[in-house]
Amino acid sequence: MIHFIDVWKSYARELFTASPVALRDISFSLQQGETLGLIGANGAGKSTCIKLLMDFIRPDQGQITVLGSPPRNHKIRSRIGYLPETANFPPNLTALDMLRFTGATCGMRTAAIQAASEKWLRRLALWEARKRPLRNYSKGMQQRANFAIALLNDPELLILDEPMSGLDPIGRADILGLIAELKGQGKSILFCSHILEDVDRVVDNVLVLHKGRTLFAGQPKRLANEQGCPTFVEGYLHLVRQGEEND
Amino acid sequence: MYDRGKKMINTLKRISAVARIVLIDGLRRHALLGLVALSVSAEAGAFLFFDFIPRDIGRASSDFILSLAWLSGFIFLYFHGVQVIALDEERKVIYSLLARPISRGEYVGGIFTGLACLLLLLNLLLCLLGFGTLMFIKQQVLPVYFSQFAMSYYLLAWLGLFAMELMLLAVILFFSGLVRGSFPVLLISLSFYAICSGLPVVRDAISQKASLEGQSTSLKSILQGMTAFFPDFDRLDFKNMITSVTSPPDPSLILVNFGLTSAYIAVLLWLACIAYHRRDLQ
């Protein structure tokens, strides 16, 4: 599904500053039906990985393959559901407008767009608000609208950038349940999150990034065992502290 | 051949999907509705305006209406167009759109088409209202002021105006591909327009000086060459022909001017596509 091989990325230099290196020699892969969690502190490189996968930015070195093609091939995105960290829509559009746009660009028929829109808007409790401008949605509603848009075309691969961002505990539980449901359907899921308890609950494997480097790749349980800690969260914190000391 | 046709249709569908959301977003934007209301009331103000003109009422009224439409288009381009294009990137709206299976070239095409449709709607509304206003004024004044009024030249003047606006829109898209942020894009695009407006004046002054001194200067050639990058908008300005008694320009020359405008827009959009294709969207 995803192959990320020896990828380096640095951002464009701004005046009087050095070019910041966001990723250093990062490699990982995501297999069919697997759920992989990208975790790390702010600036670790999680969002950079996701932007590279979505072809918003390009790597300096290394090779990236998504669904058998390089990310530059825009056609593969009809098989990907992407959830951005913060929902940014054209302000005067409604959820229905964005769903129609998504369906039209994915080559779906009008009837299929209508059926899928109704299904996801009802599932995510947005049906009543479907004709309201997205700018009037609360943060949680925008995030759920984003989910509906990401899932409309029944994607094989889900790329979720902080899916629980801005959600209250009930919304979080609902989204976690949805991710578990999608995982049960055999979807491949890559997501990054700061909330380690959530990651631990749904992922098969984690990739721990720290300042653009890989600190750990494998099962959460193995991370805890290797660090000699009782839980994954404690194991992660121990690993990051070690990483800080080594820097 | 069949595959190529199908591919083209799919590309057009994706471009129209982007254009559709730009159009809908614009039609629901309160600031834009305010601009339309202001333009409409200002054009209706021509009813009062013609009372203050002592002579040449036909030319002055049509000039007033077309100039107002140009100002409305200008405000639309620099305050709505720049915002839509540049804020797409600043507020990461572009991520929501490019996360779907559309290429960056299709995105550029869609944004251009959507904004061009909004501009067309604005111009159609003002053109109809302007025509009504002119007809009303025509009935109120002596026939001599509108003896040369020609509907075809009225439409040509609007077509010229729309072509100029499309050129500026393509320029804004091109600069948005090169520069990050709405404010730099606004400044650069305004500077571009200022150069385009000032260049013919400078060129005329240099030509007059050169002909008086009886020598051709290299500066004159350079200024002439610069027209390829900074087009002369006066060539598309036909508003003086609406009620003019002077002979109209050669139709082939008008066609050449529109052809060059189309080519200029096509080249700028192509360059904008290249700029968007090559850069990181961050």
| Residues contacting B102, CB < 8 A, separation 6+ | A74, A77, A105, B14, B17, B18, B110
B21 to A101: CB separation less than 8 angstroms, yes or no: yes
Compute φ and ψ for B9, nearest 5 degrees: -65, -45
Give the integer Cα–Cα distance in Å for B257 and B57: 29
Q: Shortest CB distance from B92 goes to which of A75, A84, A149?
A: A84
Counting the structural domains of chain A, the total is 1
What is the tens place of the pLDDT at every residue in A101-123?
999 999 889 999 999 999 999 99
Say what the pLDDT of residue B48 is.
75
Phi then psi for A141, rounded to 5 degrees? -65, -40
Nearest in space to B192 (alpha carbons), one of B214, B215, B169, B208: B169
Strands A80-83 and A205-210, how do they pair?
A: unpaired
Angle at A166 between CA A160 and CA A172, to 5 degrees: 70
Among B28, B29, B101, the residue with its CB nearest the CB of A78 is B101
B280 part of contact set with chain A, CB < 8 Å = yes
A101–B98 C-beta distance less than 8 A? no
Taking alpha carbons only, the member of A173, A20, A87, A90 closest to residue B21 is A90
Check residue A85 and give its pLDDT: 80
Count of alpha carbons within 13 angstroms of residue A165, beta-carbon side: 17
CA distance A198 to A37: 10
Q: Which residue in B20, B101, B280 is closest to A12 by CB distance?
A: B280
Strand order in the sheet with A61-66: A21-30, A2-10, A61-66
Whole-number pLDDT of residue A200: 81
| Domain interval for residue A221 | 2-246
Calpha distance B64→B38 (Å, rounded): 15
- Residues in B touching A105 (Cβ below 8 Å): 13-14, 17-18, 100-102
Please list, in sequence order, all residues whose beta carbon lies within 8 angstroms of the beta carbon of residue B38, skipping any fewer than 6 positions away. Answer: B72
Alpha-carbon gap, residue B61 to B130, rounded angstroms:
9
What pTM was estimated for this model as a whole? 0.90
Distance in angstroms (rounded) separating the CA atoms of residues B56 and A68: 71
Quote the DSSP letter at residue B141. Answer: S
Is B280–A11 a contact, with Cβ atoms under 8 angstroms apart?
A: yes
Q: Which of A88, A100, A149, A160 to mutate to test the interface with B (most CBs of B within 10 A)?
A: A88
CATH code of the domain containing A98? 3.40.50.300
Its domain, for residue B198, covers 2-278
Number of structural domains, chain B?
1
From first to last of its 282 residues, chain B has per-residue pLDDT tens of: 677 788 888 899 999 999 999 999 999 988 888 988 888 888 877 777 777 777 777 788 888 888 889 999 999 998 888 888 876 666 778 888 899 999 999 999 999 999 999 999 999 999 999 888 888 888 877 777 777 777 888 898 899 999 999 999 999 999 988 888 888 889 999 999 999 888 888 888 888 877 777 666 777 788 888 888 888 888 888 877 777 766 777 888 889 989 999 999 999 999 999 999 888 887
ipTM associated with this complex:
0.88
Residue B178 in contact with partner chain A when CB distance is under 8 A: no
Tokens of A151: 């899932």
Q: What is the pLDDT of residues A137-189, one digit of tens each?
A: 888 888 889 889 999 999 999 999 888 877 788 888 888 888 888 888 889 99
